[in-house]
Chain A
Amino acid sequence: GAVVSQHPSWVICKSGTSVKIECRSLDFQATTMFWYRQFPKQSLMLMATSNEGSKATYEQGVEKDKFLINHASLTLSTLTVTSAHPEDSSFYICSARTSGNTIYFGEGSWLTVV
């Protein structure tokens, strides 16, 4: 299957700082990428849909000023958690849609805010 790479896998940041997570489709062009958050023992919660060259579409209840999403190219989307706080600590995972409408996921990123 197609490969989606997410970086970093683990990140620890201080409260009040910002942290950026990258999501890359390595062997295909992805016009659409998605960002999810997963709480312990729960399913994936869609945060936003990212389309190349346009503003992201955020799900209800997700603060767009806190979770900045940029999809500047067909192979890269970034999620920036701004002014992070301990309650933002979570597992974040991205996915990318192929032209055949199959969706592949990155490896995920663990964020810990201290």
Chain B
Amino acid sequence: AQTVTQSQPEMSVQEAETVTLSCTYDTSENNYYLFWYKQPPSRQMILVIRQEAYKQQNATENRFSVNFQKAAKSFSLKISDSQLGDTAMYFCAFGGGSNYKLTFGKGTLLTVNP
């Protein structure tokens, strides 16, 4: 069974600064995907970024980028130029197995301060 660990229950950052959210996972699978989702107070789960395990290049999506270290089973999210709208709960997720069902971490509550 897969496990996903987010060791930072809460984090805060000043507007326009950079913040990194950590995530580690454990799996015996070779083919899988890793995701970061953002959940604002509306509870909608918004896909932030996605990484295929077979790709060595780190995924980037505008201000969001990941540091994927496959050997270390680490998948951190960096948010650059933080904005007030980035305030949300962030969940790291592992997708694998025949259906690629997601296993979630417990989440990190990020607060961006003005």
Q: Which residues of A come within 8 Å of B, CB atoms? A: 1, 32, 34, 38, 42-44, 46, 49, 51, 57, 91, 93, 95, 97, 101-105, 107-108
| Complex Cα spacing A107 to B83, Å | 23
Residues of A within 8 Å of B45, CB to CB, are 44, 93, 95, 105, 108
Contact with A along B67-109 (1 / 0, CB 8 A): 0000000000000000000000001000100011111111100
Q: How many A-B residue pairs have CB under 8 A?
A: 55
Residues of B within 8 Å of A101, CB to CB, are 33, 95, 100
Q: Which residues of B come within 8 Å of A, CB atoms? A: 33, 35, 37, 42-47, 50, 91, 95, 99-107
Least Cβ distance of A98 to chain B in Å?
Answer: 10
CB-based contact B101/A43 at 8 Å: no
The 6 lowest CB-CB distance pairs between A and B, nearest first, are A105-B45, A43-B104, A108-B43, A101-B100, A32-B99, A43-B106
CB-based contact B43/A95 at 8 Å: no
Least Cβ distance of B51 to chain A in Å?
Answer: 11
CB-based contact A105/B106 at 8 Å: no
CB-based contact A102/B104 at 8 Å: no
Best-buried of B33, B50, B100, B106 by chain A (most CB within 10 Å): B100
CB-based contact A103/B104 at 8 Å: no
CB-based contact A34/B101 at 8 Å: yes
| Contact among B35, B37, B44, B103 with A108 in the assembled complex (CB-CB below 8 Å) | B44
| Contact among B44, B50, B101 with A105 in the assembled complex (CB-CB below 8 Å) | B44
